[in-house]
Chain A
Amino acid sequence: MEELMAKKIVIHYAAENVDQPIIYELVKKHDLVVNILKARILPRRDGVIVLELSGSKENFDQGIRYLKEKGLRVEPLSKSVSQNTERCVHCGACTAFCPTQALSIDRETMKVSFNVEKCNGCEVCVTACPVRAMEVNLF
């Protein structure tokens, strides 16, 4: 059976790519379902767009390759989750719901730190952190 997948990605646009019909191509040529989560084109016409792409693994990989060939910077969304260390009160509540242990407590200092390498971008922490210290930085 074909392997299906869905993944959230962030595409960074430069001014020269703005005119390219990339969404159309992803749907038409690569047979992917595209769900636009957020988009912003900045005044200088560079910008960011956040998509959820789903389809077969093969199509997904080809779609990503297509974007990269077009000169777009593509990243998994998880890279964009960050801990606002000014805001975080180190309560530790997030360590209960983070599924990957990307958020963990140092037992000596009792400080809560965020390890972006372990984060899968599920965003559970974004609404579960009581002081809204976990942010998805798109733009």
Chain B
Amino acid sequence: MKKRRVKKTYAEINEKIRQGRVVVVTAEEMIDIVERHGEVEAARRVDVVTTGTFSPMCSSGAFINFGHTSPRIKAHRVWLNDVPAYAGLAAVDCYIGATEVIEGDPLNSVYPGEFNYGGGHVIEDLVAGNVIRLRAEGYGTDCYPARRFEKNITIHDLRDAFLFNPRNAYQNYSCAVNMSDKTIYTYMGMLRPRMGNANYATSGQLSPLFNDPYYRTIGVGTRIFLGGGEGFVAWPGTQHNPHVPRGPNGVPKSGAGTIAVIGDLKKMSPRWLVGASIQGYGVSLFVGIGVPIPILDEEMARFTAVKDEDIFTQVYDYSVDYPKGMVKSLGEVSYKELRSGEITIMGKKVPTAPLSSYYKAREIAYILKDWIEEGKFFLGEPQMRLPSGRGENND
């Protein structure tokens, strides 16, 4: 390991936050600072770099406890605004998943389906404080005799509600095209025939995990911006996989790390949790996430200065290859090209469209910066790092 010239601890940075002396910049601003002053000087000057992402994240949902009823019920099946919630938990606990569709939805029988309402919308309605119809059925036990329970509730009536998303903030995501002769509707949006458009996700240089490619500072217990409130990284996300090809800057060239996140739904906002209807595919939830990255040393300064032109992803065909489960890359493109509005694949110029909001990602990075500067938000030191594939001592 190379000797580091700058070394800071979480405790030191948190002390600076407490004293109002902390220096915070966004991941976009950091690019310039490192270019101008070099990574060592940048690491001396900057304490925290804020990141952001705002995208439909299907692997999301909320645990809800609606409080005991009188007479008591062991809720065997639960619906929120007619969207089924998973009730295979204790008596009045349930989990509402973002992609669960409202009962009676025509789905894709009228193709492409509109998917106007589902779990993602229930979560948005909850955080907006809107009235939700709660319906539960029980089978009746000696201790929980009730068989039915129905009530209009708002989030304030719930005993507990917390967001728990098993996989969010994917570190990199493929770019989707359609090689077939007809329009297709995918979770990557509408894709016109014969590579009529290329859709991509992630906020590139602003995206949390691109700014800490080996998860040196992101792990269980990292405090984050989640849905407009405060949350934590709870665990490596499902499908977390650090072992993918990476560029010389350490940045994965295809989907790699993920995080599972948790936070109090009651403190979140409908500005940062927005129900999504993805035509022909289903419902989902736009989730806003921001991760603060402590600049512990010059390597972290270098990592957080990563820019769109040095982040690459693969282009996949979503008409045949992807559904078959046999993906092969049609080409590699940078986020700079993707964000310019046009890429070239196999000699053809193809217009691009994002699915994830760079605009909102930037807003999140600024909000998080404000929170830290105002001394309202402190860094959480990870208690366990995400597996990084870079050896035991991930420094």
Contacts and interface: CB of A to CB of B under 8 A. Distances in A.
A93 B353 contact: yes
A20 interface: no
A89 B114 contact: no
B359 A131 contact: no
Nearest to B361: A110
Interface in B268-310: 274-279, 284, 286
A127 B356 contact: no
Interface string B189-202: 11110000101000
Interface residues of A, number: 20
Q: Which of B114, B276, B278, B339 has the most CB of A within 10 A?
A: B276
B355 A107 contact: no
Interface in B50-94: 54-56
B360 A96 contact: no
Contact of B354 (A92, A97, A127, A131): A92
A98 to B, nearest CB: 9
A57 interface: no
Interface string A84-113: 000001111111110000000101011110
A90 B339 contact: no
Interface residues of B, number: 32
B170 interface: no
A68 interface: no
Contacts of B191: 96
A96 B190 contact: yes
Interface string B344-367: 000000010111111110100000
A88 B274 CA distance: 10
A110 B358 contact: yes
A109 B359 contact: yes
B287 to A, nearest CB: 11
B276 A92 contact: no
A96 B353 contact: yes
Interface in A51-108: 89-97, 105, 107
Nearest to B283: A130
B341 interface: yes
Contacts of A33: none
Contacts of A90: 357-360
A131 B283 CA distance: 10
A138 interface: no
A21 B189 CA distance: 45
Contacts of B351: 95-96
Given A95-B353, A97-B190, A130 B278 contact: yes
A91 B351 CA distance: 15
A93 B199 CA distance: 8
Most buried by B among A127, A130, A132: A130
Interface of B: 54-56, 114, 116, 189-192, 197, 199, 274-279, 284, 286, 339-341, 351, 353-360, 362
28 contacts: A89-B360, A90-B360, A91-B54, A91-B355, A91-B356, A91-B357, A91-B360, A92-B353, A92-B357, A92-B358, A93-B353, A93-B354, A95-B351, A96-B190, A96-B191, A96-B197, A96-B351, A105-B341, A107-B339, A110-B339, A110-B362, A111-B359, A127-B279, A130-B277, A130-B284, A130-B286, A131-B275, A131-B276
Given A89-B286, A111-B359, 7 more contacts: A91-B354, A92-B358, A95-B351, A96-B189, A96-B192, A107-B341, A110-B339
Interface of A: 89-97, 105, 107, 109-112, 127-128, 130-132
